[in-house]
A and B are shown apart, each in its own frame.
Chain A
Amino acid sequence: QQPVQSPQAVILREGEDAVINCSSSKALYSVHWYRQKHGEAPVFLMILLKGGEQKGHDKISASFNEKKQQSSLYLTASQLSYSGTYFCGTDLTGTASKLTFGTGTRLQVTL
């Protein structure tokens, strides 16, 4: 079953923060976050493995709550380059070799 992301879409002014949530009805082994710009392939952002870890680089970080089967992506001090559609990819098998992608969140950062 496809993970549900919220919000579906968000518009930010440059410098504002955003949180994107990914919720699954099934147990997750890991969560992968990708950003896709229009007409392009998804670009890998980060992976969160089982263990409730948090990760981050630059101004993008994420958390993974395996008990709640949820992950959140945090974008701080957003930049214009952050615009795009964000997808979470969930690993339901434990092999990390097959991902079920979420419904997507469209993010637009404006001046």
Chain B
Amino acid sequence: GAVVSQHPSWVICKSGTSVKIECRSLDFQATTMFWYRQFPKQSLMLMATSNEGSKATYEQGVEKDKFLINHASLTLSTLTVTSAHPEDSSFYICSALTGIGTYEQYFGPGTRLTVT
């Protein structure tokens, strides 16, 4: 149980375009999902916390208008990278908590974004 999927697994886009990444909890309802960014050989950096039905909470230094997060249902959160630039190229990973008061974060397989 506790499977999280992401789509697409990789995407190449041109500079200036927008890209949407989906994160789904397949066999549970996720009231809270997290979005991370990971540059090569670096750690996971939390970008934002997404709660179903409310606005996402962004970490310091993360541009809200550039990284749009929508958590419209208990099984789906989306991250849209708007006006992408080459420096946005990274591995984006989502994770989800299985319920209130739980501790384990289950991670999706990640999305490799390359902006040319």
A interface with B by C-beta (< 8 Å)? 2, 30, 32, 34, 39-44, 47, 49, 87, 89, 91, 96-104
Contact = CB atoms under 8 A, between A and B. Distances in A.
A42 B106 CA distance: 8
B104 A47 contact: yes
Nearest to A103: B43
B70 interface: no
Given A40-B110, A41-B93, A41-B110, A101 B105 contact: no
Interface in B88-116: 93, 97, 102-110, 112
A87 to B, nearest CB: 6
B110 A32 contact: no
10 contacts: A32-B104, A41-B108, A44-B104, A44-B107, A49-B103, A97-B49, A98-B34, A98-B49, A99-B105, A100-B46
Contacts of A30: 103
Decide if the interface of chain B is mainly helix, strand, loop or mixed.
Answer: strand
A98 B108 contact: no
Contact of B44 (A44, A47, A49, A101): A101
Interface string B47-59: 0010000000000
B109 A44 contact: no
A71 B44 CA distance: 18
Contacts of B49: 97-98
B42 interface: yes
B77 interface: no
A44 B106 CA distance: 7
B109 to A, nearest CB: 5
Contact of A41 (B32, B34, B97, B109): B109
Interface string B18-54: 0000000000000010100000001111100100000
